[in-house]
Chain A
Amino acid sequence: MRKRSQRLWLIGAAAVLVLGAGGLAAVALQDSVAFFAAPSELIEKDMIKAGKSARVGGLVEVGSETHGSNGELLFRITDGDHTVPVVFEGIPPDLFREGQGVVAEGKFDADGRLVAKRVLAKHDENYMPKEIYDAMRKKAGPDGAGAYEKEPTS
């Protein structure tokens, strides 16, 4: 009898906790998932809304890099057809360059600019974020990506 009651409260406690955690995870996933998209996709699907999280990948548009009044970095990400303006307050990665592949992660503000919390660039000659590679290949075909020598990831 005792044995059974012990097992029961153990299972009960575990079930409550797991259900609670599952609910929490479901709510959190709805709010905090950032979908990756190229600028064209964002614009065509009308995904640019204030407060929306996103991960935008493409090339840093040549000639778009400038800075705001507080020294924040301003640039545009392009995929050839469309561009998305980005604001970044931090110091960009060391391999951040115009014309290079980049992924910016953050939320859109009211002006439709992506306020990036994080900017990923090609890490070194062996590594570049997979999404950059995919975006490049989508855009330029296998030859365009060939500029990066080899496919970094599957």
Chain B
Amino acid sequence: MIAELGHLLAFLALATAAAQSVLGLTTGGEATRRLAVATGMFTALAMLTLIISFVRLDFSVALVAANSHSQKPLIYRIAGAWGNHEGSMLLWCVIMSAYGAAAALWMRADRLRDRALGVQGLLTLGSLAYLLFASSPFLRLAVPPLEGRGMNPLLQDPAVALHPPFLYTGYVGLSFVFSIAAAGLINGSIDRDWAKRVRPWALTAWSALTVGIALGAIWAYYELGWGGWWFWDPVENASFMPWLVTAALVHSLIVTEKRGSMAAWTVFLAVLAFCLALLGTFLVRSGVMTSVHAFATDPTRGIVLLIGLAIAGGAALALYAWRAPKIPPGPEFDPVSREGALVLNNLFLSVGAALVLVGTVTPMFAQALNVSLSIGEPYFQLTFAPMMAVLLLFMPLAPMSAWRKTELKPILRRLAPAGILAVIAGGFAMIVGGWQPWLGFGVLVGVWVIAGVVLDLVRRAGPGGAGRLFKLPLAVWGMTIAHIGIGLFVIGATAETVTRSERTFPLQRGESATMQGWTFRFDGVRQVEGPNYNATRADITVTHDGRTDVIHPEKRIYPIAQSGTTEVSIRKTAWRDVYVALGDTIREEPGVWRIRIAFHPLIDWVFGGAGLIALGGFISLTAKLRRRAPATDAAAATTPEATTETPPAGAPA
């Protein structure tokens, strides 16, 4: 019964979404609001019924039979509900309609909200139609099997269980940014108030997307068994392009909100971000690309997605082309100003996204011409990395600049200590890291960014000292933390990429391998039984600096899925991870196992940096919410804000 209930709820959601879009785009009002909440509730309940089917192991539901198994632990039975194409599409609908419901509950009631809900209703309607007619998760099997087929064991992992919900809150969340942009274009009201109301949604989506991407990277790092965390794989790029564009958007929204400039560009980014999210979904789901992560590939689904992308993107861009010329350009500004700095940020981030796009889709077009090629890491390192390096060299200047027009000299003088520190740190890293110029450069950039933003914080606190720091607006803290996160990430990513070292040792029981002052003694393997897998577990005694402990890398075989995973053992030290994976036996020499040992320096800074970026985003978001809370009347909400930031040094009054 429960699957039919879910099916019915999804159809109800389809109906309310249709009504929501019609009402929202015409009369609007309270009815639209209620419909949006209803759509959100119906899809959430539909998801709940699917989760119940998965938890209860109802194998008469085709999706459960194909993706679950009675031996699977409870949390992965729940996560199994979205660990497949159909279930993840339902999750997509849930999150899309949840954004609509949240906006219905929290956005100020006016035409902008109603139309945004209307557009969101249309997007939800399209997604639900796709779910119900092209990939329904609620279908029953005539003859239920006694046992399910299990899930890809690589996905049986906590990070990847949480990965889809965060990732979707991110890039499906961009649908609502798109909806407010479309609503603003329809209303002809792309102005400061519009920007102010878009920003919380953009920040939510962007921060969640950051977490989602980071979880995926963490999972790749320890679960795929080769210690990489980013492969420039099409599926990764698919989520990274919207991330870059949304990063540009949250910055240009500041300009539009505070100054009213760049409005036409800002709304374009808001439209583009979701289009790229759709394009990414198409790349992932249609099977046009070879990727280590691609799942549920089916050409018909790809075509439907492509049509959806064409309709949503085409309509929005047509609307943009029609309305954008009427958007007032806003007050002008000097190239050397905070606006100018943020324009630079936007140019570099969008060109960066374009370079990633070229690298991602070129193989696809080549394939259409019957040429099979792949574009790997070297392309991205040669193109994307230098763009970001230049961007980051400029980054500390932006928060210190004044709006409209600024003097560079006082800013550079103020940043001088950061520059000196960066050069010293970079030089030191280059020497310690064994004359690696790129390591030195990465550390220089990272330290420059961190020291620069800390100096900015000191400047904002003024002579008031530490006590004044806590009185600074949360938005400033959010920016500071996110920028520190970027700096840490850059240092970690370059250190990890440039100085990681790895080697494979063929070892017999009792033999030892030594690498960089660490000794690994292989004490043989034994068989261990897990809930739904059999593991070959190695005992390896690790000695370093007189300290000894035993680690247990594993190879697991999941008999139901007929596949295996490599479970690495990671020893954390202050500066690096010691990463040990158990390989295969060597065929012609029984008893010899291949053991791969790798050192990953500063890997925690990579993930920690990404975490801080997301945290900074969420803090800026709470700043928005807190600031908005007292402004109950519409008049207060539209008043240009009083100074939320202390005037920058050398700013003309």
A residues contacting B by CB (< 8 A) are 2-3, 6, 9-10, 13-14, 17-18, 21, 24-25, 27-29, 31-37, 53, 55, 65-67, 70-73, 89-92, 94-95, 103, 105, 117-118, 120, 123-127, 129-131, 134, 152-154
- Report the separation of the CA atoms of residues A97 and B506 in the bound assembly, to the nearest whole angstrom: 18
B168 at the interface (CB under 8 A from A): no
A130, B287: Cβ atoms closer than 8 Å: yes
User: A73 to chain B: which residues have CB within 8 Å?
Assistant: 504, 594
**Contacts A17-B351, A33-B375, A91-B596 supplied; 11 other A-B pairs, CB < 8 Å:** A24-B355, A24-B382, A25-B358, A71-B506, A90-B502, A124-B152, A126-B296, A129-B290, A131-B372, A153-B288, A154-B299
User: A126 to chain B: which residues have CB within 8 Å?
Assistant: 152, 295-296
- Report the separation of the CA atoms of residues A27 and B378 in the bound assembly, to the nearest whole angstrom: 11
Q: Chain B 353-391, CB within 8 Å of chain A: the 1/0 string?
A: 011001100100000000111111111001100110000
- Residue of B295, B332, B379 near A29 (CB, 8 A) is B379
- Residue of A34, A67, A70, A152 near B374 (CB, 8 A) is A34
Would A36 and B152 be within 8 Å (CB), given that A21-B355, A154-B288 are in contact?
Answer: no
B506, A67: Cβ atoms closer than 8 Å: yes
- Report the separation of the CA atoms of residues A94 and B362 in the bound assembly, to the nearest whole angstrom: 29
User: A134 to chain B: which residues have CB within 8 Å?
Assistant: 372
- Report the separation of the CA atoms of residues A130 and B302 in the bound assembly, to the nearest whole angstrom: 15
Q: Chain B 40-84, CB within 8 Å of chain A: the 1/0 string?
A: 000000000000000000000000000000000000000000000
Measured CB to CB, the nearest residue on chain A to B565 is A94
Which of B152, B351, B503 has the most chain A CB atoms inside 10 A of its CB? B351
A90, B374: Cβ atoms closer than 8 Å: no
Which of B286, B292, B379, B387 has the most chain A CB atoms inside 10 A of its CB? B379
B649 at the interface (CB under 8 A from A): no
B residues contacting A by CB (< 8 A) are 152, 154, 225-226, 231, 286-290, 292, 294-297, 299, 302, 329, 332-333, 335, 343-344, 347-348, 351, 354-355, 358-359, 362, 371-379, 382-383, 386-387, 502-506, 555, 561-566, 581, 583-584, 586-588, 594-596
B372, A33: Cβ atoms closer than 8 Å: no
CB distance from B294 to the nearest CB of A (A): 7
- Residue of B287, B290, B504 near A71 (CB, 8 A) is B504
A125, B335: Cβ atoms closer than 8 Å: no
- Report the separation of the CA atoms of residues A29 and B506 in the bound assembly, to the nearest whole angstrom: 37
- Report the separation of the CA atoms of residues A103 and B290 in the bound assembly, to the nearest whole angstrom: 11
Measured CB to CB, the nearest residue on chain B to A133 is B290
Would A34 and B333 be within 8 Å (CB), given that A29-B362, A71-B506 are in contact?
Answer: no
User: A9 to chain B: which residues have CB within 8 Å?
Assistant: 335
B504, A31: Cβ atoms closer than 8 Å: no
- Residue of A28, A89, A92, A124 near B561 (CB, 8 A) is A124
- Report the separation of the CA atoms of residues A14 and B349 in the bound assembly, to the nearest whole angstrom: 12
CB distance from B368 to the nearest CB of A (A): 11
User: B358 to chain A: which residues have CB within 8 Å?
Assistant: 25, 29
Would A25 and B383 be within 8 Å (CB), given that A18-B351, A71-B506, A154-B286 are in contact?
Answer: yes
By DSSP majority rule, is chain A's interface helix, strand, loop, or mixed? mixed
- Residue of A17, A33, A34, A90 near B348 (CB, 8 A) is A17
CB distance from A54 to the nearest CB of B (A): 9
A71, B594: Cβ atoms closer than 8 Å: yes
- Residue of A6, A36, A127 near B294 (CB, 8 A) is A127
Would A92 and B288 be within 8 Å (CB), given that A105-B376, A124-B561 are in contact?
Answer: no
B348, A65: Cβ atoms closer than 8 Å: no
- Residue of A33, A72, A91, A152 near B581 (CB, 8 A) is A91
CB distance from B68 to the nearest CB of A (A): 15
CB distance from B171 to the nearest CB of A (A): 22
User: B587 to chain A: which residues have CB within 8 Å?
Assistant: 65-66
- Report the separation of the CA atoms of residues A91 and B502 in the bound assembly, to the nearest whole angstrom: 11
A32, B375: Cβ atoms closer than 8 Å: yes
B297, A152: Cβ atoms closer than 8 Å: yes
Would A89 and B504 be within 8 Å (CB), given that A94-B564, A123-B292 are in contact?
Answer: yes
CB distance from B592 to the nearest CB of A (A): 9
A127, B351: Cβ atoms closer than 8 Å: no
User: B347 to chain A: which residues have CB within 8 Å?
Assistant: 13-14, 17
Measured CB to CB, the nearest residue on chain A to B265 is A10
B561, A66: Cβ atoms closer than 8 Å: no
A91, B594: Cβ atoms closer than 8 Å: yes
- Report the separation of the CA atoms of residues A92 and B587 in the bound assembly, to the nearest whole angstrom: 14
- Residue of A25, A103, A120 near B355 (CB, 8 A) is A25
Would A34 and B373 be within 8 Å (CB), given that A17-B347, A24-B382 are in contact?
Answer: yes
CB distance from B120 to the nearest CB of A (A): 31
Would A95 and B563 be within 8 Å (CB), given that A36-B372, A36-B373, A70-B503 are in contact?
Answer: yes
User: A120 to chain B: which residues have CB within 8 Å?
Assistant: 290, 292
CB distance from A33 to the nearest CB of B (A): 5
- Residue of A27, A89, A94, A105 near B382 (CB, 8 A) is A27
B375, A91: Cβ atoms closer than 8 Å: no
User: B581 to chain A: which residues have CB within 8 Å?
Assistant: 91
CB distance from B596 to the nearest CB of A (A): 5
- Report the separation of the CA atoms of residues A10 and B288 in the bound assembly, to the nearest whole angstrom: 37
Q: Which 6 residue pairs across A and B have the least CB separation, nearest first?
A: A32-B378, A36-B372, A153-B287, A71-B506, A154-B299, A28-B382
CB distance from A127 to the nearest CB of B (A): 6
30 contacts between A and B (CB under 8 A): A2-B332, A6-B333, A9-B335, A28-B383, A29-B375, A29-B379, A31-B378, A31-B379, A32-B375, A34-B373, A37-B372, A66-B587, A66-B588, A67-B594, A70-B503, A70-B504, A71-B504, A71-B586, A73-B504, A90-B502, A90-B596, A91-B583, A118-B231, A123-B152, A126-B152, A129-B290, A152-B287, A153-B297, A154-B286, A154-B299
